[in-house]
Amino acid sequence: MFIDEAKIQVAAGAGGNGCVAFRREKFVPRGGPSGGDGGRGGDVILESNEHLNTLLKFRYKREFRAERGGHGEGSNRHGQDGGDTTVTLPMGTVVYDAASGEKLWDFVAPGQRVVAAQGGRGGRGNARFATSTRQAPRKAEPGGPGEERELKLELKLLADVGLVGFPNVGKSTLISRLSAARPRIADYPFTTLEPCLGVVGLDEDRSFVMADIPGLIAGAHEGKGLGTRFLKHVERTRLLLHLIDVAEYSGRDPVEDHDIILNELGSFSPVVAAKPMLLVASRIDAAGEGDRLVRLREFCGERGLRLLEISCVTREGLEELKQTIWAMLEQLPRPQTADASVGPPVGAA
């Protein structure tokens, strides 16, 4: 099951209390104060992991707590520091403060670590308060509380190419032909109910990641159909592949389909709409003598748009499509491997 949103509670450990104690040893007539300090509370740490691709585990476990620090003891024995708790997240996870909606961290590379909740400091024992004028203090500090906060997690898949288009235009079939991904395929709209990733290999040294998202319809940015719930997964892609069905039996206007999808992308995010896009006429094996393919060709010629024609049934045009995608990706900048919004790493001052 693919889960791309979740809310979790994180609570760092409280610091241990300082101790009030005095040395009572034989042959030590003036032992003085010997209360140790409390240990520091543990932190809750978020860490990105490249082997995870869903937030499913947070459906069953929503609370993450670190250990509290141990209390100080006599004979100047300090309490043990509490153990940290590490929460692993998939790459592409954006973390927000659930109360304010503020964006806190964006994990775009493997192994990124940040402290989500900081442990409380340990309280000082009475040995810390001894002075020349106050040689027997009976004062100690309690441990500080650990931070607690509610976080909202939102996963945005990381892929090079994103497939967009109306429902049932052949996006899932295409990704199944080009990669080892096996999405659900059927002859009715909205077969795809969750995003699917596939690795498309050209040879041993060249490959790219393709993302298939559920189909869009007119008014998707207003919540119609599956709405824009999954459009966030193409925000990080470098190239959009717009599939337009030219099969004779579809009965739709390909130019109108193109304009509707472009409008929905623009209504969702101008950044997404501005991404480089390659138009693909799918199901040319079923185009017959209809004018859908001819009309789409004329439209692309007038607009100066490049159009590729493919058939997943006969595999016509698939190799040219892969080579064209790779050539375009070579010209596009790669995403940054780090993001300033991630914040300071664990242990930073």
Per-residue pLDDT of the chain (349 residues; tens, 9 = 90+): 567 789 999 999 999 999 999 988 777 777 889 999 999 999 999 999 988 878 888 988 999 999 999 999 998 999 999 999 999 998 889 999 999 999 999 998 889 999 999 999 999 999 999 998 888 899 999 999 999 999 999 888 778 898 888 888 888 889 888 887 776 555 544 445 567 778 888 887 788 888 887 766 555 445 554 556 667 777 888 899 999 988 887 777 889 989 988 888 888 888 888 889 999 999 888 887 668 888 899 999 999 999 999 998 899 999 999 999 999 999 888 765 444 345 545 544 3
**For residue 21, which of 70, 69, 77, 68 has the smallest C-alpha distance?**
77
Beta bridge partners of residue 90, listed in sequence order? 49
pLDDT at residue 185, rounded to an integer? 55
Q: Tell me what pLDDT residue 2 has.
A: 61
Predicted local confidence at residue 187, as pLDDT: 52
CA distance 323 to 278: 13
User: What is the predicted pLDDT for the residue at 211?
Assistant: 84
* C-alpha 113, offset from chain centre: 14
Q: Which strand ranges, in their side-by-side order, compose the sheet holding 44-49?
A: 85-90, 44-49, 113-117
DSSP H or E stretch at residue 330: helix 318-331
Distances (CA, A) of 322 to 31, 207, 210: 81, 10, 11
Model pLDDT, residue 219: 53
Q: How far apart are CA 146 and CA 163, in angstroms?
A: 45
pLDDT in the model for residue 316: 92
Predicted confidence at residue 348, as pLDDT, reads 44
313/283 Cα distance (integer angstroms): 8
- The C-alpha angle with vertex 97 and arms to 82 and 58, in degrees rounded to 5, equals 65
Q: List domains and CATH numbers for the chain.
A: 5-155 (2.70.210.12), 161-331 (3.40.50.300)
List Cβ neighbours of 252 (8 Å cut-off, separation of 6 or more). Answer: 166, 245, 292
